Amino acid sequence: MRTRTPFPIAIRTALLSAALLAACRTLDRGAPSTSDAADRIRRDIAYLADDRLEGRGTGTAGNDSAASWLARRHAALGLRRVVIDTETAGCSADSPSERCRTFTQTFVARGPELAHSGKPEGVRTQNVVAMIPGRDPSLAGEVVVIGAHFDHLGRSTTGALDPEARDAIRNGADDNASGTAAILELARRFAAQPARRSIVVAHFTGEELGLLGSQWFVEHSPVPLDGVAAMVNFDMVGRLRNDRLIVYGVGTARELPALLDSANVEPKLRLNPVADGFGPSDQSSFYAKGIPVLHLFTDLHPDYHRATDDVEKIDAVGEARVVALAERVVRAIADRPSRLTAVRIAATPRMSPSREGSNVYLGTIPDMAAGDVPGLKLTGVRAGSPADKGGLAAGDVIVQFGGREVKDLYTYSDALYAHKPGEEVEVVYLRGGARRTTRVTLGTRGQ
């Protein structure tokens, strides 16, 4: 049994006062209209994925503008500030003054990607964080975190799957303006109708650079981590196809499979549950701390990490359905009399494809529409690349790389980035159903 660290007195007092007020509200306000929710979601994505923000790259003016906009949205929704701004005169981490509280969690992001791009000192950036106090005074000191990253690639080719587009703006409408918009819609609903436990609303930066924002959050959490009952993450939820929704982390708490099944009401989504709590997004930072997690994801598509990921391709009605399911799931977790029973799954943490070692180059072009194909199916290879010299071609399916099994883009990225430029690696692939093997000498990206 974990010892629970109490909230600071000022936060606890504010939570209990707000909880008592919230308990007096009438909670039966009817289900939100799907069409209205879809309109709000589309408008939010359109703002975040507008060329004026230049793809929201971490440390850029566009990313800062997005953070300021999110903070204003939090204020307009009446959410609570919980981050202590220690840079304000007279403020400290234990300061009770309301003037010391802010929506932005500012930090210096540092990592291999930034070092490779000539910024070893890192860049100043920010998460955006707020709270919706719970309505039950006995449970309001515990929280459920709902989170999504709002950064994308900007004009950088690092991590991009269309490097030939050079410094084109990669707006990331699905990745991850869609998840950001989902969080805003959920915040609006929980602000109007609070749950028993408190809800922390977190927008992370630096995900594309290696989960930097969420890692900073868990290491410098504005609320005690042992008070976090669960974390629900949204990354790429704007391209629902065939009603199919992938949900990572279903095995991270004993109650989650039944809870998720109960929340999937008619018209049902086709859920593809994955037990592992680790994965290529921000929920991994929380699961590494022993917190139950879920990660909602409508799967990859041909526009992933390309300049063509724009708002016109978003299925806002489909995303509204995902948000409706998510609301039922989050409420079920937040309203339970007892906390979820956490389960640890033996697995190796996986990070996003943009991370250490990403300067290594093979030259494959993944087929993003082949999400159900075991392995990594190729839509092509770049002329003169190590993949081309090794005999790989469009239609091949890589199933093993350097002795590691390849199940999808993420396990492929893990296997690739475990190596360095110049290394010779064995690649096992399928061509026309026949298993073949080749050896490739890895190159350096950009050369």
Q: How confident is the model over 163-217, as pLDDT tens digits?
A: 899 999 999 999 999 999 999 999 999 999 999 999 999 999 999 998 999 999 9
Strands 198-204 and 143-149: parallel
Q: Which residue has the tokens 């975040």?
A: 48
Taking the C-alpha atoms of residue 106 and residue 129, their distance in angstroms, rounded to an integer, is 10
Q: How far apart are CA 50 and CA 55, in angstroms?
A: 8
Question: Structure tokens of 115?
Answer: 């070092």
For 350-405, what is each residue's pLDDT tens digit?
444 444 445 788 988 777 666 567 898 887 788 889 999 999 998 899 999 999 99
What is the reported pLDDT for 413?
83
* CA 176/CA 235 separation, integer angstroms: 6
DSSP-assigned letters across all residues of 393-406: -TT-EEEEETTEE-
The pLDDT of residue 42: 98
Q: Which domains are delineated in the chain?
A: 9-335 (3.40.630.10), 360-444 (2.30.42.10)
Q: How far apart are CA 102 and CA 85, in angstroms?
A: 6
**What letter would DSSP give residue 131?**
E
- The residues facing 83 across adjacent strands are 102
CA dihedral 85, 86, 89, 92 (to 10 degrees): 120
Does this model's pTM top 0.75? Answer: yes
Distance from chain centroid for Cα 168: 23
DSSP string, 339-394: ---B----------SSSTTTTEE--EEE-TT-TTSSSEEEEEE-TTSHHHHTT--T
Between CA 79 and CA 146 the distance in angstroms is 14
- The residue-averaged pLDDT of 432-444 equals 94
Rounded to 10 degrees, what is the CA torsion of 260, 262, 263, 264? 90
Q: Return the half-sphere exposure (C-beta side, CA atoms, 13 A cut-off) of residue 421.
A: 13
Q: By CB neighbour count within 10 A (0-12 exposed, 13-18 middle, 19+ buried), where does 163 fall?
A: middle
> Of 286-300, 335-349, 367-381, where does the model show the most confidence?
286-300
Per the structure block, which two tokens stand in for 339? 């906390």
- Beta-strand pair 101-102/83-84: antiparallel
Q: Which pLDDT score is estimated for 360?
A: 86
Tokens coding 440: 């490739």
Q: Where are the beta strands (DSSP E) in 290-337?
A: 293-297
